[in-house]
A and B are shown apart, each in its own frame.
Chain A
Amino acid sequence: MSSAIAMGNKSLFQGLNLRQKTILIISFTSILLFAIVIISLFLAGNALPTNFESKNLAPSLEHPFGTDWMGRDMFVRTLEGLGLSIIIGAFASLISTVLTLILGLFSSLGKTADSFVSWLVDLFLSVPHLLLIILISIGMGGGTKGVIIGVALTHWPSLTRVVRAEIKQLKTQEYLHISKNLGNSKWWIATKHILPHLSPQILLGTILMFPHAILHEASVTFLGFGLSPHEPAIGIILSEAMGYLSAGYWWLAFFPGLSLLIVVLAFDMIGENFGKLMNPKMAHE
C-alpha cells in the first residue's frame, strides 16, 4: 500500500510524505505573509516620493508593478496596502474569535443562554454583511478604527454558530453528565471539558476568518466608507485605479488586485492544510 502512495506522489515535492508536504505548504505561505507584513512595516515610515517625471509608467524591471499618475511605485504601494490589510484582518479576526469564545461558552451554561446566543447570531446574520460593516464603521467614526471595529464585530456569527453546534453535540456526552454528578460546576465543565474540544474549530475558524476580514476591509474601503484616502490600503488603490482603467493603465488595478487574491488564497491554503493536520480524517477529501 505504501508503494501505491509513493507512486502517486510524483509531484513537486517528491519523496516527502503527505504530512511533511502539508507542513511545508503551511510554512511557505506563512513566511510569505509574514514577509509582506514586516516589509510593509519597514516601508510605512518613509512616505512614497512623488515623481512626476516617471508617472504612469508601464511595468518594467525598475517598477515591477508600474507607477501611478503621481509617479509613485505601485509595487511599494501594494506591499504597504497588503501589510495594512493583513494587520487589520489579524485584529478583526482576533476580536471576532474572542467574541465567539465568550458567546460559545456562555451558550453552554443553559437553555436561556443558548437561545439568547442563537438569537444574536440570527440577528447579525439577517442583516447584509457589507451593509452592517458600513453602518458600524460610520457609527464608530470611520477611519482605520471604524473599519477594524466594523469588521471585527460582524465576523463572529458564523464561527459562533459552528462552535455552538459543537457544544450542543458535546453536551450529550456521558462524561459531561458524570462530571456534573462528581460535583463540578457548570463553568468548570465548560472550561475543562468543553474548551479543549473547541480549540481546533476555533483555531481553524480564526485562520479562515482572515481572508474574509481582509476582503471586507478592502471592499468597504473601495466603496469609500473605510480608510482615509491618504493611506495606502488596497481598497483605496483599487478605487483610484478605476478612474485610469479607461485610459489604458491596466497595471494600476491588475497587480494590486492579483496580490490581494494571492494573499487571500495563501490564508485559505494555511487554513485548509492546518485543518488536515488537526483533523486527519479530512485529509483524503
Chain B
Amino acid sequence: MYLKGENISFGYKKDNLILKDVDIALESGEVLGLMGDSGSGKSTLCKILSGYVPNYQGTISIDGKKISSKGYNPVQLIFQHPEKAVNPKWKMKDILNEGYLVPQTILDSFGIKKSWLNRWPNELSGGELQRFALARALSPKTKFLIADEITTMVDAITQAQIWDIVLDIVEKLNIGVLVVSHDKTLINKLCYDVISLADINKV
C-alpha cells in the first residue's frame, strides 16, 4: 500500500504559499523520516496528509484512491502536544476507546496501567497522555501513522521507550510511519530513509 501526496500546494494566505508542489510517498511498513526547520511547513504537510486541512491543492491518495472525508481515516496523525489532543472533560478510558476498543495487549505494551483509566487527563503527565494518544490511533484500520514531533516533550529515556513500542506495533500491523522531527540523531536511529522538506518543497 502506498500513501501518496502529489503536487501539494498550500498557503494560509492566498498569495503566500508555504508548500509548493510537494511530492511525498510512504509505503506500508516503511518508517520514513522528515526533517525541516521550524516554520518550514512540516506540521502543515502532516495535517494535509491526514485530512485536517480541507482546501489544499494537489492530490492525496492511497493506492490511487482518494481518501474519504467521512468514516475512519486510515491516515492518523499524532500531535506534538498530547494534552491538546484529549478532551479535558472525558475520563481516560473514554478517550482511549473513542475510535475502537483498544486491546489489552496494546495497553500492556505501552505500559498503560488500569488505574490510569479512571483518571482525568490533567492527572496524567505528557508522556503518559502521548501513550494514550498513540494507543487510540493504532487501530487495525489505521494504515499510516503521521508522527509530528510526538516525543519532543519527553525525556530521552521515555522517548526511547515510546519509539520502541511504536516501532514494534507498527511492524506487526504493517503500518507506514512518517517520523517528523528536528532531531537528526533520533531520525537516523529510527528511519530507513530520511527526506528533508527543503529538498521537496519548491517554494
Residues of A within 8 A of B (CB): 173-175, 177-179, 181-184, 193, 196-197
Which A residues are in CB contact (< 8 Å) with B77?
178, 181
Contact A182–B79 (Cβ < 8 Å) = no
Residue of A whose beta carbon sits closest to that of B139: A182
Per-residue A-contact encoding for B43-87, CB less than 8 Å = 1, 0 else: 000000011100000000000000000111100110101001111
Contact of A178 among B70, B81, B85, B89 (CB under 8 A): B85
- A140 CB, min distance to chain B CBs, angstroms: 39
A182 to B137, CA, bound (A): 8
Residue of A whose beta carbon sits closest to that of B76: A181
Contact B79–A174 (Cβ < 8 Å) = yes
Which B residues are in CB contact (< 8 Å) with A179?
98
Q: A181-B50, A182-B98, A182-B136 are in contact. Are A175 and B87 (CB under 8 A)?
A: yes
Residue of A whose beta carbon sits closest to that of B75: A181
7 nearest interchain CB pairs? A183-B72, A182-B99, A181-B73, A196-B89, A174-B84, A175-B87, A183-B71
For the A-B complex with A178-B85, A178-B136 known, give 15 more contacts whose Cβ atoms are closer than 8 Å.
A174-B79, A174-B81, A174-B84, A175-B86, A177-B52, A178-B77, A179-B98, A181-B50, A181-B52, A182-B72, A182-B136, A182-B137, A183-B70, A196-B89, A196-B90
Contact B99–A183 (Cβ < 8 Å) = yes
Which B residues are in CB contact (< 8 Å) with A196?
87, 89-90
A182 to B85, CA, bound (A): 12
A182 to B71, CA, bound (A): 7
Contact B73–A175 (Cβ < 8 Å) = no
Contact A193–B87 (Cβ < 8 Å) = yes
How many interface residues does B have (CB within 8 Å)? 21
- A193 CB, min distance to chain B CBs, angstroms: 6
Residue of A whose beta carbon sits closest to that of B87: A175
Which B residues are in CB contact (< 8 Å) with A177?
52
A197 to B90, CA, bound (A): 10
Contact B79–A184 (Cβ < 8 Å) = no
- B5 CB, min distance to chain A CBs, angstroms: 17
Per-residue A-contact encoding for B77-121, CB less than 8 Å = 1, 0 else: 101010011110110000000110000000000000000000000
Which A residues are in CB contact (< 8 Å) with B72?
181-183
Which A residues are in CB contact (< 8 Å) with B50?
181
- B140 CB, min distance to chain A CBs, angstroms: 13
A153 to B52, CA, bound (A): 38
Which A residues are in CB contact (< 8 Å) with B51?
181
Which B residues are in CB contact (< 8 Å) with A193?
87
Residue of B whose beta carbon sits closest to that of A193: B87
Residue of B whose beta carbon sits closest to that of A173: B84
Which A residues are in CB contact (< 8 Å) with B76?
181-182
- B96 CB, min distance to chain A CBs, angstroms: 11
Residue of A whose beta carbon sits closest to that of B78: A178
Which B residues are in CB contact (< 8 Å) with A181?
50-52, 72-73, 76-77
Which A residues are in CB contact (< 8 Å) with B90?
196
A–B pairs, 21, beta carbons within 8 Å:
A173-B84, A174-B81, A174-B84, A174-B85, A175-B84, A175-B87, A177-B52, A178-B98, A181-B50, A181-B52, A181-B72, A181-B73, A182-B73, A182-B98, A182-B136, A182-B137, A183-B99, A184-B98, A196-B87, A196-B89, A196-B90
A173 to B87, CA, bound (A): 9
- A114 CB, min distance to chain B CBs, angstroms: 16
Per-residue A-contact encoding for B19-34, CB less than 8 Å = 1, 0 else: 0000000000000000
Contact A197–B71 (Cβ < 8 Å) = no
A8 to B1, CA, bound (A): 69
Residue among B76, B81, B84, B87 facing the most chain A CB atoms (10 A cut-off): B87
A197 to B77, CA, bound (A): 24
Residue of B whose beta carbon sits closest to that of A175: B87
Residue of B whose beta carbon sits closest to that of A184: B98
A196 to B87, CA, bound (A): 10
Residue of A whose beta carbon sits closest to that of B77: A181
A257 to B3, CA, bound (A): 72
- A278 CB, min distance to chain B CBs, angstroms: 12
Which B residues are in CB contact (< 8 Å) with A184?
98
A179 to B94, CA, bound (A): 12
Residue of B whose beta carbon sits closest to that of A177: B52
Residue of B whose beta carbon sits closest to that of A170: B87
Residue of B whose beta carbon sits closest to that of A196: B89
